[in-house]
Structure 1
């Protein structure tokens, strides 16, 4: 059984809680701009002192409303400044934040509010309020006493409500929590079954951020460091960056509308960003398709090949002169424009949530953006492993963070132990005992490898391994990741459990398809072209490329192009854009059966 540990590099606090960062910032650097808010008049800075005062005012309002120590307060909103403000205000009041994805249905909201026994909800606007009202009418939410709306001036309302709460009362509440106390209940979006509440303590965050900010000092501790959050703050990935930015006084902005993201990036000019692999795939595919539509497809493809080759050469510590010259040429023609799309100042990106893949990792490093791929789960307060600026191996998710150990089980499952591993599932001892063994090892459910240097590679999900009729074990993620890298492919599902060969269902990317259709003189409706020879040939090319990554027995032999899409709204994707395999398999049972007829 292979095991690798990274020794702890810092002293992790044994007292205090997450609110200390806000207090320290106001006292030590009160005039420093730690946030920038998007307003009708542009981006406006918020100093550490101003944020501290706003958090205290809202926290007093929560206390005045009857929110007690340890009470759960739900947050249902898009990514915005007020999300962060309320998160810290809830902690100042000694309470526990329960994030809810803003896209959640009334039924999902009802389950989380009921299961967590939430005392109050802070919702964003009318649509969210309506869903909370529906959940209230159809479920047993006896504990829910308050519902506030950000768009109905919840900040000001609570500020006035708490005007009579003394500083002494607030300070007593703020300092009640220790590292052992619950900070948040994050409900896993879940690819199967009802979401489970992951209990993350103040200590989990303090351990995680203590080592992560130290290890990623080139991101957090450089002069002028800034980041723009656009992923949902209900996801632990964005949440940990939020807390890390506050801890390190890294200026942070929020972008709620993905349609305005390019403009927001251009105005905010972050020095680093975080995103899930699907975002990086989309950026690449969109750029490729636009170049093709403008008659520059060949130049873009060559530029991409050079970027990848240049990045690979860096691992060998020597870049050939000819490749260096080609890279310099394409830097002026292509790479600079791509970096400009990220604001022009972005040097690093953190990728998590799913494997990025070697090709994209090398491409982005080749254009001048170091993508630091990491790995973690909600249950581990985000990162367990991460590639570092000075210790990067593209294609892996990095080495364990200091104080973290990894073990590969006999069945290939990755097990981890460290101070960031959660306290268990809320009111669910059976699930907790299944995930955490007696020695404190967390069973991730992911299958992977650890090389001699400690770099971890994810190869698939334990429960998603496909076993063909011939007894061949196939990890679908390897094929699916490669397929999604093609400009025309949006999502795909590899199937074949108990079948004689591997097949795939493919959906077409609605962003890149119109340009392809126009270029080829085709209908702009995907449903009209499901058996079109040119579209089939394009997808076959993607399949052929994916098959290069596996053996013949694991290769995709047949595929079907579907007319529709798999989306979060449709219930086929989680909020972090992971495929809900059980849902898709159930909905596409007929198409899957048709693959194997005859």
Structure 2
């Protein structure tokens, strides 16, 4: 082990939190990590440094984003830094800090980073009990956003079990197509919509269902979540470090399906390199995001923005992900003052609804900015600073309204094939009718026929 390099990384982490690190020191350090090929643990330690907010700010202000990210991506591959590595690392760094807020009525329940990692390990053990044949398990997830579904997803990603989040807006025909194509062996089902969908197709499949909710309503071979979770005690030879060491970086880890409006759903494959490199790239595009941020999240976890930007992004930054109790607008209005989010990512409709609500309560043409901002804070909580509007058109006047009243709403464009975002308007640099510039780590080209071509470490094959 290169103790000299390790000591330099430790010192740099300390300096990063004190705010007295510089670009030259960081670039020397990343180059030395590549040149000296230290063991994985030292590289992981460096990648822990690289997630710190002040480091992203230093790199972006020095305009060496692409050079830095190219080296980071190489280190991710070299050291086998995957989802499980990242979550374990965050648990050690952030400990008792809240990773998840869960709203039930007017009550707020929380889960810490250390407890999340413990639950992920337990879930991984329980999943290993299901794996009793020569054929590896393929886990389907058909559920609304809820903690136990997230535990299954993160355990699969942490220990190299293929996982398939299935859109709740699927038809029964599309669900059948997804189950057959992805060869799901076990499916976790939660919520009324998911139960209805499964019950429509269950007679065609000999698949074990693990019920996240309402066990008695689900047809077929069903196991209750509590029984599944308790079965972890039957796990034999489940060594966390060993399992994590087997996780491949470039093999298909998960498949996400896009809606098939004119044909069958399209399955987009992701490996660990796609997932992790995108987190470092997005952080460099948003250097003002960090561990003190709180997300209020309602976007479905079977879509890239909900799963990768909000869920994985929150964990990457060491921030807090808040499960909205419901995606309904009135429910979100209840949730805002409970969690006081600093970040809210949404389709355009929610930003319009918030604006229209203000219009009904105030004379927007005559009220001063302070009155409008006070009212906006009373609705969204006292801390909302950042927003993103994507997956649809939002009038430039709405963008500019929020930006002039303390909420920096950004515009963006993405595709599932790019592990989410492709472009985004840089903070404070909104341009009317623009979806921004390319995110770090992705190269864009318009072909002769107008098709957008893209490549990069987080663009899927």
Matches within 5 A, 1:340-489: 340-423=378-461
Is contact 2:336–2:381 with CA below 8 Å preserved after alignment? yes
Report the TM-score, using the length of structure 1 for normalisation: 0.60
1:243 alignment counterpart: 312
Is contact 2:253–2:272 with CA below 8 Å preserved after alignment? yes
Q: CA RMSD in A?
A: 2.5
Is contact 1:265–1:341 with CA below 8 Å preserved after alignment? yes
1:171-199 Cα offsets, whole Å, 9 max, x none, are: 43333222212232110023322111111
**Count of residues paired in the alignment:** 381
Farther-moved stretch of structure 1 (170-179 vs 258-267): 170-179
Which residue among 373, 381, 397 is the counterpart of 1:335? 373
Which residue among 115, 140, 148 is the counterpart of 1:50? 115
1:136-157 Cα offsets, whole Å, 9 max, x none, are: 22x4x35x33433245595532
1:60 alignment counterpart: 125
Distance, in Å, in 1 between the alignment partners of 2:417 and 2:193 is 30
| Residue 285 (str. 1) matches residue 356 (str. 2) | yes
| Residue 254 (str. 1) matches residue 323 (str. 2) | yes
2:48 alignment counterpart: none
Structure 1 residues 171 and 151, CA gap change in structure 2 (3 angstroms): farther
| Residue 78 (str. 1) matches residue 150 (str. 2) | no
Structure 1 residues 383 and 391, CA gap change in structure 2 (3 angstroms): same
Structure 1 residues 285 and 417, CA gap change in structure 2 (3 angstroms): same
1:36-66 Cα offsets, whole Å, 9 max, x none, are: 2224671122111111111111111111012
- Secondary structure of the residue aligned to 1:63 is helix
Is contact 2:422–2:442 with CA below 8 Å preserved after alignment? yes
2:276 alignment counterpart: 206
| Residue 275 (str. 1) matches residue 359 (str. 2) | no
Distance, in Å, in 2 between the alignment partners of 1:175 and 1:182 is 16
1:189 alignment counterpart: 259
Is contact 2:210–2:224 with CA below 8 Å preserved after alignment? no
More helix by share: 2
1:136 alignment counterpart: 202
Is contact 2:297–2:323 with CA below 8 Å preserved after alignment? yes
Matches within 5 A, 1:443-592: none
Distance, in Å, in 1 between the alignment partners of 2:211 and 2:158 is 18
- Secondary structure of the residue aligned to 1:108 is helix
1:147 alignment counterpart: 210
Which residue among 78, 99, 112 is the counterpart of 1:34? 99
Deviation for aligned residue 1:276 = 1.1
Structure 1 residues 362 and 117, CA gap change in structure 2 (3 angstroms): same
Deviation for aligned residue 1:255 = 1.0
Q: Please, which runs of 5 or more residues in structure 1 have no aligned partner?
A: 304-328, 424-598
Deviation for aligned residue 1:368 = 1.7
Matches within 5 A, 1:92-103: 92-103=158-169
Farther-moved stretch of structure 1 (411-420 vs 234-243): 411-420
Is contact 1:96–1:182 with CA below 8 Å preserved after alignment? yes
Q: Please, which runs of 5 or more residues in structure 2 have no aligned partner?
A: 1-63, 216-222
Deviation for aligned residue 1:127 = 4.8
Distance, in Å, in 1 between the alignment partners of 2:306 and 2:98 is 20
Is contact 2:148–2:212 with CA below 8 Å preserved after alignment? no
Distance, in Å, in 1 between the alignment partners of 2:129 and 2:396 is 53
1:232 alignment counterpart: 300
| Residue 179 (str. 1) matches residue 242 (str. 2) | no
Deviation for aligned residue 1:108 = 2.7
- Secondary structure of the residue aligned to 2:288 is helix
Deviation for aligned residue 1:237 = 0.9
- Secondary structure of the residue aligned to 2:289 is helix
Is contact 2:189–2:209 with CA below 8 Å preserved after alignment? no
1:236-256 Cα offsets, whole Å, 9 max, x none, are: 111112101111110111014
- Secondary structure of the residue aligned to 1:112 is helix
Is contact 1:60–1:158 with CA below 8 Å preserved after alignment? no
Structure 1 residues 243 and 411, CA gap change in structure 2 (3 angstroms): same
Deviation for aligned residue 1:82 = 2.5
Distance, in Å, in 1 between the alignment partners of 2:165 and 2:405 is 36
2:83 alignment counterpart: 18
Deviation for aligned residue 1:391 = 4.3
Deviation for aligned residue 1:270 = 0.6
Is contact 1:31–1:47 with CA below 8 Å preserved after alignment? yes
Q: State which structure, 1 or 2, has the greater radius of gyration over its C-alpha atoms.
A: 1
- Secondary structure of the residue aligned to 1:218 is coil
Matches within 5 A, 1:307-318: none
Is contact 1:385–1:401 with CA below 8 Å preserved after alignment? yes
- Secondary structure of the residue aligned to 2:173 is helix
Distance, in Å, in 2 between the alignment partners of 1:67 and 1:283 is 51
1:435-479 Cα offsets, whole Å, 9 max, x none, are: xxxxxxxxxxxxxxxxxxxxxxxxxxxxxxxxxxxxxxxxxxxxx
2:66 alignment counterpart: 7
1:523 alignment counterpart: none
Distance, in Å, in 2 between the alignment partners of 1:337 and 1:347 is 14
Structure 1 residues 405 and 30, CA gap change in structure 2 (3 angstroms): same
2:176 alignment counterpart: 110
Distance, in Å, in 2 between the alignment partners of 1:146 and 1:81 is 18
- Secondary structure of the residue aligned to 1:98 is strand
